[in-house]
Structure 1
């Protein structure tokens, strides 16, 4: 039975002309059929073309760029070469996720990969670089440090991938990315992946990185995930939100839940209050060292803790199967941030729930997110914790009688005649000098000068001095 299922999965990808070791790895990893982004990207990338692709979060784009690179590395073996493929990602969590995908698919090949990120001991990374892994997965900052000291060498790189390029723009990593690209040879294949290609700065970055690229857009950048339900719960203040969050996490049925705060301090405070209330929770933010981040993620992935409280820095790159609930303790700063947060749930065909706790100062921002994404958000209430704030007051329309009265006044001012419907002529202002000159003969004007028209009687004023 198992061999039959593996054969079906391999047959689904066989039309993409992948090597037999990769097909076996794909089947073992449980990939049954190519996702839309994989079906669109793989044929183009296997031809060696540069491309820029936009697809929804969780659409399978990691395998979409790893598989063609691995296939081309197998087709063109170079045992004495250094690193030949570079994958740049914005966060350490996303780097670990890409490495996990590589290990899942490359189990029947002899290809190797290494991760270079900040927060880890440099000597371990130097040893990994000396082993010349075929694929290097890195965050820009730490890799640039190794390049500046000569510990990393990109001379043999033939494939470069920029994953989550829009996130790199948000984090101000563009200068480091450009500096890294200057260390790589010009003859290479480059792939750029982003949640949206319409973001300001993406096109400029693509022009610098890519040559005659193919553009692929699978989903509208504002398209919300179809398997996610959206709710808002109105709140009064931070203390009220803390009580609502605690009740929500203790009453709801879920295996794993992600709670997002806009700041590191907010994430730490929320995590401490949940732990004090007996909720199994851990906190993830950008100030943790790599060892602590790995420990936190390991606890969450294993199910030892059921709640992960994260700051905005960790919103992307978190891919934990079985996450059923996402809670926005703070309303995200933009619709794109909301999309990436909510995209942590509702994966692999399972339904997910995204709940936002909204206070009065956040109301307008939440409304703008709804309009931006075109989503319908259901209102929910937690028993015993209903907010005094119930949204902005509705503006009442003026009564019909008042409207009629105003119209009647305007018509009277304009001199409307109710009898025949004809408007009276506007009353002209009578001047005193005109009354004095009634019955008097007007003096003839001077004769026009030769060559002048009918208005020649006008004499321009003389210049002063």
Structure 2
């Protein structure tokens, strides 16, 4: 099976019309009924029965498809049906970001309500002392980010020798963030007889094959969609912008005139996010900022303000592109175009979730045009072009385009121009020769005219070879 190419066989499984039809523990079925959850999503229909059989599983589905319940429900069913009160951690869920970890924690707490199961959170930005105390309580489920969990393992705090289920969520993102070695170090200290479930938005990541081959045993594979699939519920637009100042004017206009409940504005740098927040607030907009340099308490507070509606817009870096499941986000604006197609998909995936409609707008300067067209080719989808007449700038896109959609123009290198550059290039100079530039060379006769000392031959100096500085 070629994991690297992203080519997989779809597991054909009997479609289950209702979650209540699945062979889940009665306590879980009651909880689902209390939550008003009855119809499973496609990923839940296919993944839950396979996971219930105890099989290792690889599952790929787009963001917002219900992957969390797809791995949580069969895992909780296992814990409820086979109690082990004297064991340590029974389930480990590894995720790339704190935001995603908090999201899974909340979903898990909803599902274990009314049971004796406990779930704990281990991420950066929290007290080591508190987390060590949490491990001593032996919660059945641990949700963790790799970096902080590895620090605890190096101190010998947790014990995963009795681990029954290992879940890797957003595995491709963990590899993008450089967690591959950390994940392998952690799993090397886990029970080798465990069940492993790997969920990812894409299965074509170059490093994913090594992880799969190392950690999973004869896994079943489900691919419902890939990151290249068009988000049918999201309208995707681009607006050309002259420069940063014009972008700021466009952004303010959109936030003041578009109809939306909540909006996410993405930048590529923390500095830009910090700059935009106060500028938008000066224009009367309720705006918050979220990026990786903020403490966990600050990040939690900002997310709370957005969920409560105290703020309506969140300016964020890509730290917010994964794991955020906020109801009511129906507008995403890329102030800076995403650096890759995958990052773009995860950004706009914050809207248009669960069948709702969303709008994604990217502000494109002339420097970003070719990046934008590259993302169009990656998605196999052409963005809708848009102009705002009230503040339209001079830039409307390149005057000439290549077949690929990229900007055409610019002088091509020719043999004559290359030869001319080589001719005009100055010859390299030795440091000693550079130091002697401007100094008078001492005549040869003067060197030999110095009086001889007893037993010494007259000093002579060899003439240096001519250089470009002579």
For the pair shown, the structure with the greater C-alpha radius of gyration is: 1
Aligned: 1:355 with 2:379: no
- Please give the secondary structure, in 2, of the residue aligned with 1:384: helix
- The answer (yes or no) to whether the contact 2:95–2:169 under 8 Å persists in 1 is yes
Corresponding residue of 2:437: none
Q: 1:290 aligns with which of 283, 290, 296?
A: 296
Mapped to 1, the partners of 2:282 and 2:344 lie a distance apart of 28
The equivalent of 1:108 in structure 2 is 114
Deviation at 1:32, TM superposition (A): 2.4
Aligned match of 1:249 in 248, 252, 255? 255
Matching of residue 54 in structure 1 with residue 76 in structure 2: no
Residue 234 of structure 2 corresponds to: 228
Alignment partner of 1:334 out of 340, 343, 348: 340
Q: Specify the SS of the correspondent of 2:18.
A: helix
Of the candidates 14, 30, 38, which is equivalent to residue 36 of structure 2? 30
Q: Is the 8 A contact 2:65 2:354 kept in 1?
A: no
Q: Write the distance in 2 (CA, Å) between the matches of 1:362 and 1:126.
A: 47
Tell me, yes or no, if the aligned pair for 1:24 and 1:108 is still in contact at 8 Å.
no
Distance 1:286 1:144 in 2: 20
In the alignment, structure 1 residue 240 sits paired with structure 2 residue 246: yes
Deviation at 1:350, TM superposition (A): 1.2
Q: Which residue of 2 aligns with 1:308?
A: 314
Q: How far is 1:207 from its partner? A: 0.8
Match of 2:51 among 45, 51, 61: 45
On the 8 A contact 2:62/2:225 being kept in 1, the answer is yes
**Aligned residue in 1 for 2:424:** none
Distance 2:269 2:374 in 1: 21
Match of 1:182 in 2: 188
Cα deviation per residue 1:92-142 (whole Å; 9 max; x = unaligned)? 000011011112222232211010000011122122111111110000011
Q: For 2:352 and 2:320, locate their aligned partners in 1 and report how far apart those are by CA, in whole Å.
A: 18
Match for residue 380 of structure 2 among 358, 374, 378: 374
What SS does structure 1 have at the residue aligned with 2:148?
helix
| Alpha-carbon distance in structure 2 between the residues aligned to 1:208 and 1:71 | 26
Q: 5+ unaligned residues in a row in structure 1: which ranges?
A: 1-9, 398-465
The one-character-per-residue Cα deviations of 1:272-316 (angstroms, maximum 9, x if unpaired) are 211222211111111111111111111111111000111012211
CA root-mean-square deviation = 1.6
Contact 2:72–2:108 (8 Å) recurs in 1: yes
Q: Distance in 1 between matches of 2:323 and 2:35?
A: 20
d(CA) in 2 for partners of 1:381, 1:30:
42
Segments of structure 2 that go 5 or more residues without pairing to the other structure are: 1-15, 404-470
CA offset digits 1:205-236 (Å, max 9, x no partner): 11111011111101133102211001111101
Query: Aligned pair count?
Result: 388
Aligned to 2:328: 322
Q: 1:49 to 1:240 in 2, by over 3 A?
A: same
1:357-388 per-position Cα deviation (integer Å, ceiling 9, x unaligned): 00001011111111211223212222321121
Residue by residue over 1:298-342, the C-alpha shift from the partner in whole angstroms, topping out at 9 and shown as x without a partner, is: 111111100011101221111101101000001111111111111
- Are residue 167 (structure 1) and residue 173 (structure 2) matched? yes
Is the CA contact (8 Å cut-off) linking 2:119 and 2:143 kept in structure 1? yes
Indicate the residue corresponding to 2:272 in structure 1: 266
Counterpart contact for 1:229–1:354, Cα < 8 Å:
yes
Q: Contact (CA 8 Å) 2:201, 2:226: kept in 1 or not?
A: no
C-alpha distance in 2, partners of 1:132/1:330?
A: 44
| Partner Cα separation in structure 1 for residue 325 and residue 264 of structure 2 | 11
Structure-1-length-normalised TM-score: 0.81
Does the CA-based 8 Å contact 1:22-1:109 persist in structure 2?
A: no
Q: Does structure 2 retain, via aligned residues, the 8 Å contact 1:52–1:213?
A: yes
Cα distance in 2, alignment partners of residues 185 and 396 from structure 1: 55
> Which residue among 101, 110, 115 is the counterpart of 1:95?
101
